Amino acid sequence: MNNIIPLLELPKTLNQSNENFRWFLDHYEMLIEKYLNKFVAIDHEKVLDSDDNLQVLLTRIREDNKYSHALLIQQILTEMLN
């Protein structure tokens, strides 16, 4: 995937980023139950992949090349950090 976001796609990408983050917040309790202490990759409002090791996850995500520019990666902790 090309790493440059075309200017005309920027509003759509920002909107999808917001939706991914909103989904992350809305589903945090479920994420804790299933992915505690793991890194998760979220895109199009679903978990694409997860791993204990961030570098391993990033390598797999890049190899799969099935993500959008709005990809969100978060570590799932017992509580959200402020």
pLDDT for residue 70: 84
Domain parsing of the chain, residue ranges: 8-75
pLDDT for residue 60: 93
Beta strand spans in the chain (E):
39-43, 46-51, 72-75
pLDDT for residue 15: 83
pLDDT for residue 7: 67
pLDDT averaged over consecutive 10-residue blocks of the chain (82 residues)?
A: 62 82 95 97 95 96 84 87 56
What is the pTM assigned to this prediction?
Answer: 0.78
Say if CB 54 and CB 39 are below 8 A apart.
yes
